[in-house]
Every structure is written in C-alpha cells, then in structure tokens.
Amino acid sequence: MDLSNIRNFSIIAHIDHGKSTLADRMLEVTNTVEKRKMKEQFLDSMELERERGITIKMQPARMDYEMGGKKYILNLIDTPGHIDFSYEVSRALRAVEGSILLVDATQGVQAQTLTTLEMAKKIGMVIIPVLSKVDSPLARIDEVKKELSRLVDCDEDDIIEASGKTGEGVEEILKSIIEKIPSPKEILEETDSFRALVFDFKYSTHRGIIVYVRVLDGKVSKNENLIFKAIGEKFNSLEVGIFCPDEKPKEFLGAGEIGYIVTGIKKPGVASVGDTITLSRKPLESLSGYMTPEPVVWASIFPEDSDEFDLLKQSLDRLKLTDSSFSYEEEKSNSLGRGFRCGFLGMLHLEIITERLKREFDLDLVITHPSITYEVEYKNGKKETIYSPSLFPDDGTVARIIEPWANVNIITPSEYMGALMKTFFDHEAEIGDSKDFGNNRISIDILMPLRELMRNFFDEIKSLSSGFASLSYKMNDHRDSDVVRLDILVADEVITAFSRVVSRRRAQEEADKIVEKLYKILPRQMFVMKVQVKAMGRILASKKISAMKKDVTAHMYGGDITRKMKLREKQKKGKKKMKDRGKVNISQDIFLKMMKSE
C-alpha cells in the first residue's frame, strides 16, 4: 500500500464547539455516508452522547477523497473534549500525524482546548486552525481569529472559516489536511512482524473485545497469533477491518492504517487504551507513553433493591469491558447493604457511568458522596491508603495526612475576577500566573486540593462568571493536609454512608449545614430523635426532632383527672423506652436527598 495516499488526523475542540457537526459534514462531502442515512452527531453512537451533545466514546471514520486526480484515504479519529478523558485524547493523538484545532467563533479559545493543544504540540503534530460557527449572528470572527493566530503562531489568513451547520469551509479543510498533514511513516521500514497502538476498544456479546488500532509497523490479517504487551494476554485475530464508519472486514491492515481487530476475548481488564499489540511469535518493543489511568474520584454504588445486587455486578463487569479506566470492588454497608466502591477519572466520568447503569441496565441506584484518596502515615510508622470516608482515622494515632492537588487553568472575562478571587480563597487555592488573553479575557493558573475542586468548584465558577469562564485541570503532586472526618449520628447511631472528610477549618460550617438538612428531610418518629455531627472527639452540631404526638386521653369524657394523668405517665414511659431501644430506618429517598448537592 502507498503510504503517501494516507492522512491520519483528529479534531481538537472544547465541548460544544461543533466538532461532531463538522465531522458529519465531512462524512457527507466525501460521500462516506449516504444523505438518506445521515443523522446529527453520526459518530456519537451512544444515546447519552446524542442527548448531551458531547463525545464520550471515540468513533473513527475512514473517508475516500479525490484531489488533483489522486485518490486519498483520510482517517478521522473523533476525540472526547472533556478533561476527564484527557488520557484517551493523548493516546488518540499518538495515532495520528495532524489535528484540526476547532475554535467556536462565538466563544473563543477555552481552557480545555489549551490542554489538548499543549499535548499535540509536545509530540510535534501539524495543527490546522479552523474557526467554527462563523454563520452564527453572535460570531466574533475578527477577535477570535486574533486569539487563534497568537495561540498557534500563524497568520490570520491561514485560519479556515467553517460552519458545520451550512457546510461552509469543509472542502477547504479537506484540502488542507492533504496538503499540510504528512503521510504516515513506518518506524521499522523492514519487518516481518507487526505492531499497533490501541487507542480505543468496545465489547460485542458475540465477538468479544474489538480493539481500535493504528498500525505502526508491518501488517496484520485474520487468524494471526497476537499479544497485548502490557498484560501479556495472547489471542487470535478473528477479523480485521476498517471503519466506513461502520465496521467493514478487510484482508489485512497495513502500516499507517487505522482499523479494528476482533479478539474474541470476553473478560474485563485485558484491553486498555495506549497498549501495544504485536505478533506473539516475533514480538516488537512496546510503544512509549503507556500508563494505567489512576482513579481520582471514589464513590460507592448500591442497588436500591438488595435483590438487584447480582444484576449490578454483571452490569459493572459489562461496563469494565468497554472502559479500562473504571475500577470497582465489593463492599458492605450496615445502612445500605452490599454494593461496590468505584473509582473514576473525574466527576463527569462518575456521572456517565452511573447514568449508563440506570439507562442500559435499568437499575435504581444509591450513590454515596464522592471522595478522593488520602495517604495516611501513623505515629507507629505504618502507612495506609484511604479511599472511603468511613475508614478515615479519627483518633490521635495519625502523624501525617497527604492529599492530591491539581493544577487548574481558568479563562474568564476580566470583569468577573473580583468575585472569582473570593471563591479561590474559599476553596484553599494558591494563585499563580495570570496573563491577558485578549478580548478583555484573562487566563489564570491556580493550585488547589483535589478535594476542593470536587466541592462544586466548577459550578461556582460557571455561576459567578455567568457561564463565560472555562476550566481545565491536571493532577499535580501530593501535599500535607489538615482534614477531619465528620460522622453523622441519627438517634445515637453512626450512619457510615453519610460520613465525609472535610477541611478542619470548614468542619463547623459543614456540620451545621448537614444537621440543618437532615432536620428538614428526616421524618418524625414515635420518640424524640437527635441528629448530630461528630468530629475530633466532640459533637459539633446537634438538633432534636420532636416525637409524633397522640392524645391518649381523647376517648375519655369527664371522670377523675388522675385517670388521665396515669395514661399520660404510661405514654411518657413508653416513649422513653422507645428512645433507649428505638432504631431509625433511613429510607433510600433520604439517602438520595443527602447525596444531592446543596
């Protein structure tokens, strides 16, 4: 195969900057998809993606295009735009030689675009700057062009104006891809082996795991004995093929091509993004850059109906087959029964997994308050990793607590900086460099604990900036932490599912909020019930919920007053006995209300 005819590229863009719509127009212009079969967000196959207008799972597409009498193969890898999936994006960029940098003419350059662009520049990719949504009446074409030209160091004339809605500029983009993006090259020019990079995978009930690969060396055909280098798992290739954009079997995949390999494997934890596949009889070296994505957010998931525990387990197994970055292990709670402690790449990742469990497997779930991982050093020298608030030590044995921090970049109109500064302080952030980003916008770098980033920080930034600010983050190092565990007691019983770890300086404020919220949502019992929050060996906040009352003398008419007094005394003793022995069964509804943000 002539490699000079192949162009591999991806699209870099912030969420909702028109990436999937532009991909739709490319499929139309190249006649890859017939007009009668065309639908919006064609490459977003998941119902959740179509509904939210975001890309979660990458869908490659191969397009044939003719220019100057020569036929070219254009391989597009559509990538997720959200920071939670930045590792997947980095692997997708390794599978291509160039990228279209897509910026919304109505919004300008956003923080998450900068993060992905930085990755692309590091590996020396060719960048084609494109301005999208130029047909919008809100488009600020000249201003955003200046921003973009400074960002990628190019002339404003080099920026292509396009619209995914009308199709304007799509032909020009396709021509630029052929002219500017280099054709792929084999790393090893002469080889009788095979090597490919896994940039995504999916699961099929009948065919097992299907890996999406970029072939770097040699070629692969059906019935080859292959091996996943990271885990050492061997398998036989049941089928190889390309994306048109539906899967189309092919005799073989050669160097420079993007396609799929059917593995037949039906167990989780084998395939992972960034792994290398090679011939088992003559293996080549693994490609650099592979890593196992580490969960940064943890939450427990329980079925509302305990009879659905087995279904939840099967559902998690199925999701693990399509998402190697998601992890889970079984756990038991006194309040909620059996469930799973799950690890996620971020809050959006958590939201997507739980939403898929509800939609695809029809499960009703209880999800606990998200937490992060803490490294705890005890006075006796022992070290422990804690990822559940209920297991967090609350005594004098701890010498040191270490927590993860994050580098956060925010781009915002300058008039909102005053309000944002107060929020930065409230979330324990350290202010770093700030620079003028043009068009009355400022880019500011801050360092903050990951724990605080999860505490509605993103929502607060969006609210204070009227939705104009954008945010991206990446993990930094670990630092000493001054945090405590809050235990919530209802009728003197600790409800472990409500436990949380908070900053010591905010412990009182959080305790007051929790007690107030529980006071409002807990139903009254037949006895007086206390709601308390305990931390650092003492009760920080407490409130009594009065008992339900019944007039035990209502049926009596006249007679001696002592008869009524006896009945009231008897009722009083009964309530005291109930208070000593009574237990409060907290319904799933209460748990759900508590898990929701204030």
Tell me the pairing of strands 430-438 and 483-490.
Answer: unpaired
Q: Are 402 and 377 in contact (CB under 8 A)?
A: yes
Which range marks the domain in which residue 153 is found? Answer: 3-180
Query: Do 359 and 220 share a structural domain?
Result: no
Burial profile 187-199: b = 16 or more Cβ within 10 angstroms, e = fewer: eeeebeebbbbbb
State the alpha helices, DSSP H only, in 57-153.
86-94, 111-122, 141-152
Residue 309 CA to residue 587 CA, distance in Å, equals 18
Residue 80's pLDDT is: 67
**Which pLDDT score is estimated for 571?**
66
Lowest mean pLDDT, pick from 233-242, 389-398, 543-552: 543-552
Query: Of 367, 384, 401, which residue constitutes the final position of a domain?
Result: 367
CA-to-CA distance for 200 and 58, rounded, in angstroms?
7
Residue in this structure with the two tokens 């009930």, named with its chain if needed: 205
Average pLDDT over residues 157-183: 91
> Scanning the structure block, which residue is given the tokens 């005799």?
251
Q: How far apart are CA 593 and CA 470, in angstroms?
A: 29
3-state secondary structure 450-513: HHHHCCCHHHHHHHHCCCCCEEEEEEEEEEECCEEEEEEEECCEECHHHCEEEEHHHHHHHHHH
Total tally of structural domains belonging to the chain: 5
Rounded-to-integer distance, Cα 70 and Cα 67, Å: 5
Tell me, what CATH number does 317's domain have? 3.30.70.870
Cα gap 241→260, rounded to integer Å: 5
**In sequence order, what are the beta bridge partners of 210?**
202, 262
Verify that 172 and 200 share a domain, yes or no. Answer: no
Domain stops at, among 412, 447, 480 = 480
Q: At residue 51, does pLDDT exceed 60?
A: no
Q: Is residue 288 in some structural domain?
A: no
Does 233 have pLDDT greater than 60? yes
Mean pLDDT for all residues in the chain: 84
CA distance 192 to 219: 8
- Comparing C-alpha atoms, which of 312, 292, 511, 484 is closest to residue 386? 484
Please state the rounded mean pLDDT for residues 386-400: 84
- Is 362 contained in some domain? yes
For the segment 219-247, the average pLDDT, to the nearest whole number, is 91
User: Residue 458 pLDDT > 80, yes or no?
Assistant: yes
Quote the pLDDT of residue 556: 66
Strand-pair category, 126-132 with 160-161: parallel
Q: What is the pLDDT of residue 584?
A: 63
Report which of residues 350 and 159 the model is more confident about.
159
Q: SS3 for 36?
A: helix
Residue 60 DSSP one-character state: E
13: nearest Cα among 84, 158, 107, 110: 110
- 396 and 338 in one domain? no
**pLDDT category of residue 53 using cuts at 50, 70 and 90:** very low
d(CA 437, CA 143): 11
8 Å CB contact between 339 and 345 = no
- Return the CATH number at 245: 2.40.30.10
Residues whose CB falls within 8 Å of the CB of residue 564, separated by 6 or more in sequence, listed in order: 553, 556
Asked if residue 189 is part of any domain, the answer here is: no
Chain segment 473-490, per-residue pLDDT in tens = 888 889 999 999 999 888
Kindly state whether residues 452 and 468 are assigned to the same domain. Answer: yes
Band of pLDDT at residue 402, cut at 50, 70 and 90 = very high
pLDDT of 195 strictly over 70:
yes
The pLDDT of residue 524 is 74
Q: Is 352 helix (H, G, I), strand (E, B) or coil?
A: helix
Q: Which CATH number do you get for residue 397? A: 3.30.70.240
Under a CB-based contact definition with an 8 Å cutoff, are residues 521 and 573 in contact? Answer: no
More confident call, 441 vs 227: 227
- Flag whether 590 is in a domain: yes
| Helix/strand/coil percentages in the chain, nearest 5 | 30, 35, 35
More confident residue, 112 or 132: 132
471 or 9: whose pLDDT is higher?
Answer: 9
Band of the pLDDT at 525, cuts 50, 70, 90? Answer: low
Q: Mean per-residue pLDDT for 151-173?
A: 90
Same domain, 321 and 232: no
Average pLDDT, stretch 302-308? 86
Q: Is residue 290 part of a domain?
A: no
Helix count (H) and strand count (E) of the chain?
14, 30
Q: Both 70 and 176 in a single domain?
A: yes
Contacts (Cβ under 8 Å, ≥6 apart) of 172 = 160, 162
- Whether 105 is in a domain gets the answer yes
| Average confidence (pLDDT) over 137-146 | 90
User: Residue 177's closest CA among 120, 119, 128, 117?
Assistant: 128
Q: Which carries the bigger pLDDT value, residue 223 or residue 348?
A: 223
Q: Is the peptide bond before 80 cis (omega within 30 degrees of 0)?
A: no
pTM for the whole thing?
0.76
Average pLDDT estimate for 68-89: 79
| Of 327, 307, 331, nearest in space to 316 by CA | 327
Q: What is the mean pLDDT of residues 513-534?
A: 83
Which of 60-64, 77-81, 285-289 has the weakest average pLDDT? Answer: 77-81
Distance CA 237, CA 194 (A): 13
The answer on 448 and 586 residing in a single domain is: no
DSSP string, 245-294: SSEEE-SEEETT-EEEEE----STTS--TT-EEEESSSPPPPPTT--PPP
Tell me the mean pLDDT in the region 327-343: 84
521 inside domain: yes
Rounded to 5°, angle at Cα 470 from 468 and 478: 145
- Cα 273 to Cα 58, 95, 113, 197, 526, distances in angstroms: 11, 11, 21, 8, 56
Question: How far is Cα 304 from Cα 285, in angstroms, rounded to an integer?
Answer: 48
Instruction: Give pLDDT, residue 92.
Output: 79
In the block, which residue shows the tokens 């900057």? 17
**Per-residue pLDDT, 349:** 83
98 and 240, same structural domain?
A: no
Residue 549's pLDDT is 64
User: Is the distance from CB of 383 to CB of 376 less than 8 angstroms?
Assistant: yes
The answer on 132 and 9 residing in a single domain is: yes
Residue 431: the pLDDT is 93
Residue 176 and residue 198 share a domain? no
**Other residues' Cβ atoms within 10 Å of the Cβ of residue 66:** 9
By CB neighbour count within 10 A (0-12 exposed, 13-18 middle, 19+ buried), where does 31 fall?
exposed
217: amino acid identity, one letter: D
Please state the φ and ψ torsions of residue 536, each to the nearest 5 degrees. Answer: 55, 35
Specify if 285 maps to a domain: no
Band of residue 467 on the pLDDT scale cut at 50, 70, 90: confident
Residues 3, 125: Cα–Cα separation, whole Å: 18
Beta bridge partners of 543: 531
- Residue 401: its pLDDT value, please? 93
Does 98 have pLDDT greater than 60?
A: yes
Let me know how long the chain is.
598
Residue 217: Cβ within 10 Å count: 19
Among 52-56, 128-132, 514-518, 566-570, whose mean pLDDT is lowest?
52-56
Last residue of a domain, one of 367, 395, 416: 367
263 plus 302 within the same structural domain: no
**What are phi and psi for residue 376, nearest 5 degrees?**
-110, 125
CB atoms within 10 A of CB 50: 14
Task: Read off the pLDDT of residues 405-422 as tens digits, 9 standing for 90 and up.
Answer: 999 999 898 999 988 999
pLDDT tens digits, one per residue of 238-268: 999 999 888 899 999 998 999 999 999 988 8
Confidence of residue 598 (pLDDT cuts 50, 70, 90): very low
Residue with tokens 């921090």: 405
Judge whether residue 580 has pLDDT over 60. no
Which residue would you say has higher pLDDT here, 82 or 139?
139
Q: Is the domain of 473 the same as that of 511?
A: no
Q: Of the candidates 98, 157, 96, which has an alpha carbon nearest to the alpha carbon of residue 131? A: 157
